[in-house]
Amino acid sequence: MTVTTRTQEEIAARVKALESLMIEKGIMTTDAVDRLAEIYENEVGPQLGASVVARAWTDPEFKARLLEDGTKACAELGIGGLQGEDIVAVENTDTVHHVIVCTLCSCYPWPLLGLPPNWYKDPAYRARAVREPRAMLRDDFGVEIPDSKEIQVWDSSSEMRYWVIPQRQAGTEALDNEQLAALVSRDAMIGVGLVSAP
Amino acid sequence: MRPDASELGDARRRVEALLRELPVSSGDRAFDQPWELRAFAVAVAAYHAGQYEWSEFQLSLSDSIRRWEDGDGREPWSYYEHWLEALETVLAGNGVLSDASLDERSRTTLATPRNTGHHEAHRKPVAIDPARCIV
């Protein structure tokens, strides 16, 4: 087997093929693989997204570029690996709160956030995020969005991968980018969580 | 919707007991790509399903890494490519999976457009829950 000539896409396809063959043979279930992957899913990536958020908070010109063309701005920081998909940043403000979902499957801005958590793929999340986002955030995630704020729900697809720039907390002015990034959780960048206080 | 944290902790401890027996320090084992985590999970799931002894996988992984070390240094280091090679080797060795069927399925997977059966890109929010008490 020559490992060098293969692209990441080819290897990913091979892993997918291997998994599907094993599942067809009845050796394992998707659920069993999901459960194992879940143990580490937090370690693949969300820190990259968090570092981009911190940069956007502290560098208004970068933030402007990020909102203008997310894919290009992320490429400036060496974050990419996408094949034709666009990264689109949506920014939370005092008047709007954003949530991302993939209504059909589990499209996700993985170069920034790593792998989607299992609940992101759950039909319950996919349906409820669109039907009653405010109640879902409150009941399932314990996030109370004030009635004075509009909630916008963004449907990611294979072409457009949305992700959320959460609002920076007051009292974080003295923190450097690394300390700021530590406050930004994966959930905050999906829009189902808020940035933690320093 | 979320897994119970202590359950996840237990599962993690059980998996890490397996990992401790493998070559390479844990720092090199960090995942960079989603496929790496998937390959990792498939290997552990196959072991749980009794497809091979963990020591077989361990040996196969060491062999793959050794071949890389003995190489001309032009191949970039990727822990999980060795992981995948080791997994394919033990599965083929135990007659579970043939290289040919895997090659064929990989080609089919690659040839399937990513957006098959997928919706059109949405450039506006799909739902808006308006603000309620603007005074």
A124 chain-B contacts, CB cut-off 8 A: 1
Query: Is residue A137 in some structural domain?
Result: yes
Query: Is residue B66 in some structural domain?
Result: yes
CA-CA distance, B19 to A43, in Å (whole number)?
16
Q: Which domain holds residue A69?
A: 45-190
Residue A67 has pLDDT above 80, yes or no: yes
Q: Map residue A152 onto helix, strand or coil.
A: strand
Q: For chain A, give the mean pLDDT.
A: 87
Burial annotation A13-41 (CB, 10 A radius, 16+ → b, else e):
bbbbbbbebbbeeebbeeebbebbbbbbb
CA-CA distance, B133 to A180, in Å (whole number)?
32
B108 chain-A contacts, CB cut-off 8 A: 17
A66, A149: one domain: yes
Total tally of structural domains belonging to chain B: 1
CA-CA distance, A76 to B97, in Å (whole number)?
42
Query: Is residue A153 in some structural domain?
Result: yes
A49, A135: one domain: yes
CA-CA distance, A192 to A171, in Å (whole number)?
22
A23, A108: one domain: no
A130, A34: one domain: no
Query: Is residue B109 in some structural domain?
Result: no
Judged by CB atoms closer than 8 Å, whether chains meet at A27 and B96 is answered as: yes
Query: Is residue A167 in some structural domain?
Result: yes
The 10s digit of each residue's pLDDT in B3-24 is 455 666 676 777 777 776 666 5
Contacts of B16 (CB under 8 A, 6+ apart): none
The 10s digit of each residue's pLDDT in A11-36 is 999 999 999 999 999 999 998 898 88
- CATH number reported for the structural domain that contains residue A114 in this entry: 3.90.330.10
Min Cα–Cα distance to chain A from B131, Å: 4
Query: Is residue A196 in some structural domain?
Result: no
Query: Is residue A125 in some structural domain?
Result: yes
Interface subset of B 87-116, CB within 8 angstroms of A: 87-88, 91, 96-97, 101-102, 105-106, 108-110, 114-115
A20, A49: one domain: no
Judged by CB atoms closer than 8 Å, whether chains meet at B12 and A39 is answered as: yes
Top residue of A2, A8, A39, A190 to mutate, by most chain B CBs within 10 Å, is: A39
A35, A49: one domain: no
Would you state the torsion angle of the CA atoms of residues A49, A52, A56, A59, taken in this order, to the nearest 10 degrees? 170
Judged by CB atoms closer than 8 Å, whether chains meet at B129 and A147 is answered as: no
Query: Is residue B33 in some structural domain?
Result: yes
Query: Is residue B116 in some structural domain?
Result: no
Residue A137 has pLDDT above 90, yes or no: yes
Catalytic-residue membership of A74: no
Query: Is residue B125 in some structural domain?
Result: no
A170, A108: one domain: yes
Q: What pLDDT score does B117 carry?
A: 58
- Per residue, the 3-state secondary structure of B88-119, as one string, reads HHHHHHCCCCCHHHHHHHHHHHHHCCCCCCCC
Judged by CB atoms closer than 8 Å, whether chains meet at A33 and B3 is answered as: no
- DSSP states of A102-137: -SSS----HHHH-SPPHHHH-HHHHHHHHH-HHHHH
Q: Which domain holds residue B43?
A: 5-101
- Cα→Cα distances B8→A64, A149, B32, Å: 39, 35, 21
- CATH number reported for the structural domain that contains residue B57 in this entry: 1.10.472
Contact A106, A116 (CB under 8 A): yes
Query: Is residue B63 in some structural domain?
Result: yes
Total tally of structural domains belonging to chain A: 2
Query: Is residue B115 in some structural domain?
Result: no
A115, A172: one domain: yes
A35, A97: one domain: no
Angle at A87 between CA A55 and CA B111, to 5 degrees: 140
Q: How many CB pairs (< 8 A) connect A and B?
A: 190
Place of tokens 């308006």: B130
Query: Is residue A198 in some structural domain?
Result: no
Query: Is residue B121 in some structural domain?
Result: no
Would you place residue B88 in the very low, low, confident or very high pLDDT band (cuts 50, 70, 90)? very high
Would you place residue A196 in the very low, low, confident or very high pLDDT band (cuts 50, 70, 90)? confident
